[in-house]
Amino acid sequence: MDKVLERCTDLVQDIGFAQVRAWKQQHPGRAAVAYFPVYAPVEIIHAAGMLPVCVSGAGDRLDVQYADARFGSFICSIIKTTTELALTGHLDPFDAFLFSSICDSARNLCWVLKRNFPDKYHDFIHLPQNPSSGATAEFLAAEYRRVMAELGGMSGRLIRDDDIAESIALYNRSRELIRELYRVRTHTPHRLAAWESYVLVRAGNFLPVEEHIAILEQALAWLPQRSCKSRDSIRIVVEGSFCEQPPLELIRLIEEAGCYIVEDDFTLGQRWFESDVATNGDPVQALAEAYVAQSVYSSVRHDFRKPRWDGLADKIRDTQADAVLFLIAKFCEPAYFDYVPFKQTVEAMCIPHLLLEFEEKLFTFDRVRTEVETFVESLVFD
Amino acid sequence: MEKQRSEYRGTIHQRQKDMMMDWYAALDRAAGGQGPPTVSMMISGNCVELLEGFEAAPIYPEVNALQLAIRHQSLEPILAAEDIGYASDSCAYVKADMGCYIKGLTPTGGKIPTPTLILCNFVGCNTYLKWFEHVAKLTGAPLMVVDVPFMRNDEPSAADIQYVVRQLHEVVQRLEELTGRKFSYDRFQQAVACSARSEELWSQIKHLARSKPAPFDAYFDAITLMGPLYVYRARPEGVAFFEAALQELTAKRDAGQGVYDQEKFRLVIEGPPPYPHFRTFRDMFAKWKACTVASTYSTVGGLFEFGFRHDPERPFESVAMHMIAQNVTNRNYLQRYDQIRKYVEDWHADGVIIHFVKSCRLFSAGQGDMRDYFTRKLGVPTLYIESDLEDPRYFAEAQTRNRIDAYFESLEHAKTTQAMVGV
């Protein structure tokens, strides 16, 4: 299993996208589609015979030389490093780029890349923000069919509903396994470190879903046999890292400093639906209805029928967490706005919390380590 | 160089002030239980016409926020919001508004009612969703969203329009429940007709700035005219206001009167202004007798100079069309590039000023690329400066002045040398 974890770590950190290049060599004539976080209807991309890949910045692996001149001050790191990846040729293996309505910076990034790379296909999916309306699922299904027509035009082959239904079944399986992985972590966090779970899940951003399913099954079969000791750590929920991802080192550090991360919102798109998407009936409509009714709560999706802070409260209760760590990317407006009602909710529950801000490229972790250790000590010796 | 100040002080300036104060007075009455039902909305792609069907009044939190800033009152509520956890880098419009609720402040000193309905017209700006959600949480007022599909293509699809129309009908139903009033389709249709007329007049005013010299500044003076456009365009008072404005500015144009005794530079400005330093900022351009002939910010509430009008024969569809396609914030970034390019060409501008504001990623994220497009691709002299629209702490006066001076010096030099070689 060490080798599997090593491979997943390499995948997560490879900004050269060797895996994508290899897949394209093995599948001549087929396209790789990059999508920006948080969620994309990967089933549609898969059913088109294409490889969906979530491109979420360059982590700490790339110096920004050109992107600052395009995006200026007060813009988060993931926007700049994604632009830098494109301007430096790292995204050349991709044939298409999909964005969605998560935030203002990401939306503008779509069009900046489109101008600079006019030969690639760029599209923007309007993921609806009004699930209360009776018209929403129908609109989203029409939106998906629009994108299907575009992708079908690229590949020269019609995307059939049966293909989408098969893809939905595959991704349902993948999400089910990820839910199971999280259950293991919540109940026996000493069996699976957060960084291990993170790379296992995030590897699915790069691999064909069939291959990812095999890895997850292998991991879940291995976990019960794993010999490990329980540590004396506090149980925390990490909230706020749904888009830009913190450095892997930071995730390791948080647990080393005395925490069990029993829930998080890392790479949230991989576990977007709380339950399986229906596989009977019109599959496009099913995907749309699942988005409206079965999505996890997220700072980039607004459902006023159930506020997100209620979602966080449920998560804290369900996981029996002792504390919440708000781990927020610098300049991430959706996370920072949500921080206020989240904080109010957590305080009303008498749950301790800590806010940590990160960037993809953190130069020193000492300050963060001290903050987390102090926070843990304040709870342990309270 | 002699100190130049400029501000359009015709009769329309005072008239708009009076109209906006009347509006605030109506809100004050509503807060006391004597006024109309109120609906809180965002400026961009607002559907004020629909409110007329209920004789309801709009509340615009953005107008409240900018009024605070221009009166140098925004810092106190911003700090109050930061005290409860809002981040220093988040939109200061939101923070000023939330801070006002916390501290019980209003821009005029009068009262602002808790809205009958908080109607989040989600038009491009994702911050709108957060903002209205937070206000609803704080006030307990009912909240509804009109989810407006972003402009992914050149034109909206039939599905986009149908989606918005269906949601508008849901708003009507909700407002009937909340106000106890029956929606008047006739009043709605009349409101749409008024809007069409106001928009035609506003468009004609905008086109006056194509003249040399331009009779008004299409950024700084246009902001004066924008308040009535949001609040009154769907009412006869709005039509009368824009008729008077057109008449007054046409007379100036016909008399060859510009903003300055001699118009030296013609500009397009992209981005909102630094309201807390509005006067200072304006004077930096006045010093060079530089007149704005077109601006993207003046199209936040509607993009009318290229022909769109509301249509009383198809009132719901045209309101939807306005919300989706005919305001700058719901149009994609490249459509904004194209809009600015048309201004440069058809309004005969010498250059483009890009004003990055920290608060607004919708406007500002990617403006470096915009500069690259205009300077490298089109060869248009472009200046990029940074500050904020609401937070007075983000304004480096000396640095901004230096950059603006340097820009105009180089433009002047280019004009002089071009004249010498007979270009």
pLDDT for res B352: 98
pLDDT for res B7: 64
> In what side-by-side order are the strands of the sheet with A323-329?
A259-263, A234-239, A323-329, A353-358
Confidence check: pLDDT of B1 > 60: no
Are residues B386 and A72, on separate chains, in Cβ contact within 8 Å? yes
pLDDT for res A227: 85
Percent of chain A with pLDDT over 90: 93
CB neighbour list of residue B260: distance below 8 Å, 6 or more residues apart: B4, B6, B213, B286, B289, B291
Q: Among candidates B11, B12, B38, which has minimal Cα distance to B23?
A: B38
For residue B382, the chain A residues in CB contact (below 8 A) are none
For residue A341, the chain B residues in CB contact (below 8 A) are 133-134, 137
pLDDT, one tens digit per residue, over B377-422 is 999 999 999 999 999 999 999 999 999 999 999 999 998 888 777 6
Q: Is A313 on the interface with B (CB under 8 A)?
A: no
> Phi, psi at residue A370, to the nearest 5°?
-65, -40
pLDDT, one tens digit per residue, over B155-184 is 999 999 999 999 999 999 999 999 999 999
Model confidence at A185, in pLDDT bands (50, 70, 90)? Answer: very high
CB neighbour list of residue B258: distance below 8 Å, 6 or more residues apart: B212, B213, B214, B215, B291
Confidence check: pLDDT of B2 > 60: no
Are residues A341 and B162, on separate chains, in Cβ contact within 8 Å? no
Q: Among candidates B19, B4, B3, which has minimal Cα distance to B225?
A: B19
pLDDT, one tens digit per residue, over A347-378 is 999 999 999 999 988 778 899 999 999 999 99
Residues B13-22: contacts with CB within 8 Å, 24+ apart? B13/B224, B15/B241, B15/B244, B16/B224, B16/B225, B16/B227, B16/B228, B16/B241, B19/B227, B19/B228, B19/B231, B19/B232, B19/B237, B19/B241, B20/B227, B20/B228, B20/B231, B21/B108
Confidence check: pLDDT of A79 > 60: yes
What DSSP letter does each residue of B2-63 carry, written as one string? --------SHHHHHHHHHHHHHHHHHHHHHTT-S--EEE--STT--HHHHHTTT-EEE-HHH
Model confidence at B47, in pLDDT bands (50, 70, 90)? Answer: very high
Are residues B366 and A70, on separate chains, in Cβ contact within 8 Å? yes
For residue A124, the chain B residues in CB contact (below 8 A) are 150, 152, 332
Compute how many other C-beta atoms are within 10 angstroms of the C-beta atom of residue A134. 10
What's the burial of B83, exposed, middle or buried (CB within 10 Å: 0-12/13-18/19+)? Answer: exposed
Q: List the structure tokens of B229.
A: 């456009």
What's the mean pLDDT in A210-224? 97
pLDDT, one tens digit per residue, over B116-154 is 999 999 998 999 999 999 999 999 999 999 999 999 999
Residues 124-183 of A with CB under 8 A from B: 124-126, 128-130, 132-136, 138-139, 142-143, 146
Q: Helix, strand, or coil here: A14? A: coil
Are residues A123 and B157, on separate chains, in Cβ contact within 8 Å? no
Q: List the structure tokens of B167.
A: 């949601």
Model confidence at A316, in pLDDT bands (50, 70, 90)? Answer: very high
With beta carbons less than 8 A apart as the criterion, state whether A296 and A270 touch: no
Percent of chain B with pLDDT over 90: 93
Percent of chain A with pLDDT over 70: 100
For residue A111, the chain B residues in CB contact (below 8 A) are 332-334, 366
pLDDT for res B406: 98
For residue B147, the chain A residues in CB contact (below 8 A) are 128-130, 133, 136
Model confidence at A17, in pLDDT bands (50, 70, 90)? Answer: very high
| Measured distance CA(B142)–CA(B152) in Å, rounded | 30
Q: In which element (H, E) is residue B279 found?
A: helix B278-286
What's the mean pLDDT in A86-115? 97
Residues in chain B: 423
| Measured CA distances, A19 to A26, A57, A63 (Å) | 11, 16, 22
Q: Helix, strand, or coil here: B353? A: strand
User: Closest-CA residue in chain B for A331?
Assistant: B89
Residues 318-337 of A with CB under 8 A from B: 331, 333-334, 336-337
What global pTM score does this model have? Answer: 0.96
First CA to last CA across chain B, in angstroms? 27
Give A142 to chain B, closest Cα distance, Å. 7
Q: In which element (H, E) is residue B325 found?
A: helix B315-325
- Helix A209-222, helix A161-187: angle, nearest 10: 30
| Measured distance CA(A58)–CA(B242) in Å, rounded | 52
Are residues A114 and B149, on separate chains, in Cβ contact within 8 Å? no
Q: Which amino acid is at A7?
A: R
| Measured distance CA(B188)–CA(A71) in Å, rounded | 42
pLDDT, one tens digit per residue, over B354-371 is 999 999 999 999 999 999
Whether the link from the prior residue into A224 is cis, omega within 30° of 0, is no
Q: Is A65 on the interface with B (CB under 8 A)?
A: no
| Measured distance CA(A147)–CA(A140) in Å, rounded | 11
Give the nearest partner residue to A333 out of B127, B143, B147, using CB atoms: B127
| Measured distance CA(A210)–CA(A42) in Å, rounded | 13
Confidence check: pLDDT of B197 > 60: yes
Q: List the structure tokens of A223.
A: 């976990």
- Helix A333-348, helix A308-319: angle, nearest 10: 60
Q: List the structure tokens of A157.
A: 């082959």
For residue A70, the chain B residues in CB contact (below 8 A) are 366, 368-369, 372
With beta carbons less than 8 A apart as the criterion, state whether A96 and A70 touch: no
Q: Which domains does chain A have, with CATH numbers?
A: 20-159 (3.40.50.11890)
Model confidence at A313, in pLDDT bands (50, 70, 90)? Answer: very high
pLDDT for res B419: 79
Residues A360-367: contacts with CB within 8 Å, 24+ apart? A360/A57, A360/A58, A360/A59, A360/A60, A360/A77, A360/A78, A360/A81, A360/A244, A360/A245, A360/A246, A360/A247, A360/A329, A361/A59, A361/A60, A361/A77, A361/A247, A362/A60, A362/A247, A362/A249, A362/A250, A365/A249, A365/A250, A365/A253
Q: List the structure tokens of A113.
A: 């890349």
Confidence check: pLDDT of B311 > 60: yes
Q: In which element (H, E) is residue A24 found?
A: helix A18-26
Q: Among candidates A125, A129, A136, which has minimal Cα distance to A100?
A: A125
Model confidence at B226, in pLDDT bands (50, 70, 90)? Answer: very high
| Measured CA distances, A116 to A20, B324, B369, B370, B372 (Å) | 22, 26, 9, 11, 10
Q: Which amino acid is at B364?
A: S
What DSSP letter does each residue of B186-238 carry, written as one string? HHHHHHHHHHHHHHHHHHHHHHHTTSSS-SS-TTHHHHHHHHHHHHHTTSHHH
pLDDT for res A73: 86
CB neighbour list of residue B190: distance below 8 Å, 6 or more residues apart: B52, B312
Model confidence at B4, in pLDDT bands (50, 70, 90)? Answer: low
Whole-number average pLDDT of chain A:
96
Confidence check: pLDDT of B44 > 90: yes
Q: Is A105 on the interface with B (CB under 8 A)?
A: yes
Give A378 to chain B, closest Cα distance, Å. 21
Residue A228 or B72, more confident: B72
Give the nearest partner residue to A70 out of B129, B159, B369, using CB atoms: B369
Tokens 């003046």 correspond to: B298
Give A9 to chain B, closest Cα distance, Å. 31
Q: Which amino acid is at A97?
A: F
pLDDT, one tens digit per residue, over B261-287 is 999 999 999 999 999 999 999 999 999
What DSSP letter does each residue of A293-316 carry, written as one string? HSBPPBTTB--TTS-HHHHHHHHH
pLDDT for res A309: 97
Are residues B366 and A139, on separate chains, in Cβ contact within 8 Å? no
Give A96 to chain B, closest Cα distance, Å. 15
Give A191 to chain B, closest Cα distance, Å. 36
| Measured CA distances, B421 to A90, A105, B241, B409, B410 (Å) | 46, 44, 47, 18, 16
Residues 283-312 of A with CB under 8 A from B: 300, 302, 304, 307
Give the nearest partner residue to B369 out of A115, A124, A338, using CB atoms: A115
What DSSP letter does each residue of B134-192 carry, written as one string? HHHHHH---EEEEE-----SSS--HHHHHHHHHHHHHHHHHHHHHH-----HHHHHHHH
Are residues B126 and A334, on separate chains, in Cβ contact within 8 Å? yes
What's the mean pLDDT in B61-74? 95
Are residues A337 and B364, on separate chains, in Cβ contact within 8 Å? no
Give A131 to chain B, closest Cα distance, Å. 9
Model confidence at A168, in pLDDT bands (50, 70, 90)? Answer: very high
| Measured distance CA(B238)–CA(B242) in Å, rounded | 6
Residue A229 or B246, more confident: B246
Q: Is A70 on the interface with B (CB under 8 A)?
A: yes
Are residues A135 and B337, on separate chains, in Cβ contact within 8 Å? no
pLDDT for res B224: 84
